[in-house]
Amino acid sequence: MTPTWYVVLAAGLFTIGAVGVLIRRNAIVLFMCVELMLNAANLALVTFSRINGTLDGQVMAFFVMVVAAAEVVIGLAIIMSIFRTRRSASVDDANLLKY
């Protein structure tokens, strides 16, 4: 076994997150799927850091976490304000721009 397997696992988790974004309708679950994709990218970064023998990958994973935290705060606030006006967290209902 080589560290490559971690990268393959990261690819699998990223794909599961992407499929989840495509098939789920609840906005909060969509956000969780995006978080899973970010986590998969983090796993790949940490593994690359180990393969390269430098800590840059871990620093980048750290930055990804900071950006993810900021993104979650804003995203959930947007979901809350949409929910307050429309009483629904389904992305199918937010189609006012459609027509």
Partner 1 sequence: MTHQILAAAASTVGGGERWTFYILAPVAVLCAIGMVWARNAVHSALFLVVTMLCLGVFYLVQAGPFIGFVQIIVYTGAIMMLFLFVLMLVGRDASDSLIETLRGQRTAAIVLGLGFAGLLSAGLAEALGHVRPVDLAAANQAGNVQGIARLLFTNYVFAFEVTSALLITAAVGAMLLAHVEKRKEDKVSQPAMMRARFAPGNYPAPKPGPGVFPTSDSVATPARMPEGTPAARSISKILPQRELTAREAAPKGTEG
Nearer to partner 1, 69 or 99 (CB): 69
- How many angstroms separate the Cα of 43 from the Cα of each of 46, 48, 60, 73? 5, 9, 11, 22
Q: Does 86 bind partner 1 (CB under 8 A)?
A: no
Task: In whole angstroms, give the CA distance from residue 60 to residue 17.
Answer: 20
Task: In whole angstroms, give the CA distance from residue 28 to residue 8.
Answer: 27
Minimum distance from CB of 38 to partner 1 (Å)? Answer: 9
Minimum distance from CB of 45 to partner 1 (Å)? Answer: 9
Among the listed residues 76, 96, 97, 99, the single contact to partner 1 using CB under 8 A = 76
Residue numbers 2-21 binding partner 1 by CB under 8 A? 2-9, 11-20
Q: 13 and 39 in contact (C-beta within 8 Å)? A: yes
Task: In whole angstroms, give the CA distance from residue 60 to residue 40.
Answer: 13
Size of the site for partner 1 (CB under 8 A): 71
Nearer to partner 1, 22 or 99 (CB): 22
User: x/- site string to partner 1, residues 29 to 68, per CB under 8 A?
Assistant: x-xxx-xx--x--xx--xx-xxxxxxxx-xx-xxx-xxxx
Task: In whole angstroms, give the CA distance from residue 2 to residue 67.
Answer: 30
